[in-house]
Amino acid sequence: MKILFASANKNKAEEIQKLLPASIEMLTLKDIQLTEDIPETSPTIEGNAIQKANYITEHFQLDCFADDTGLEVTALNNAPGVLSARYAGDQRNDLDNMKLVLDGLASSSDRSARFKTVIALNLNGEQHLFEGIVNGEIRTEMTGTNGFGYDPIFEPEGCGKTFAQMSMDEKNRYSHRARALEKMMVFLGKKTLTAD
């Protein structure tokens, strides 16, 4: 089975590729020569995932899946949320984004947060949504050098270390994206079984 992942984010693509079974060949935007950014103008995480998947389906008539992810920090009224990638501005700088979150929590004792991923799968003319959530807390400082985005300041519940202190394989055992993708894999497995 071939399916396109509708994202230009190489880090996300690498994480997802490691989780997919050999029976699924993941295509990227590079494979279809799409170089411009897919619009992400929805006010919700779900909406952005849907918007990206629909863009590919409408313009290229391909089965695809797209994800959108947000960090929701309780004491910041669930910000940065849908604005996670550009929280500190359109330059989309991970360091600036993390500093803004840490500054916002400087006087807060509540450091609880969660990562939320929604995957929109467009397959055979139908759309299906899969959600993955991981709860945790925001560290007081950046720790670790792996991963991307907010990984150096987010510690998943019960782990004792940040995503940035984990190998990709270890992160994939806990991550929001892996949880959403696992639900999609279960769905695709059932679809395959019912098609036989």
Residue 190 contacts residue 183 (beta carbons within 8 Å) = no
* Rounded distance between C-alpha atoms, residue 144 and residue 168, angstroms: 13
Q: Which of 63, 67, 68, 151 is catalytic?
A: 68
For residue 90, indicate whether it is catalytic.
no
* 44 touches 51 (CB < 8 A): no
How far is C-alpha 139 from the chain's CA centre?
Answer: 20
Task: Report long-range pairs for 127-132 (Cβ below 8 Å, ≥24 apart).
Answer: 127/50, 127/53, 127/54, 128/184, 128/187, 129/46, 129/49, 129/50, 130/180, 130/181, 130/183, 130/184, 130/187, 131/180, 131/183, 132/175, 132/176, 132/177, 132/178, 132/179, 132/180, 132/181, 132/182, 132/183
Longest dimension (CA), the chain: 58
Report, as residue numbers or ranges, the catalytic residues. Answer: 68
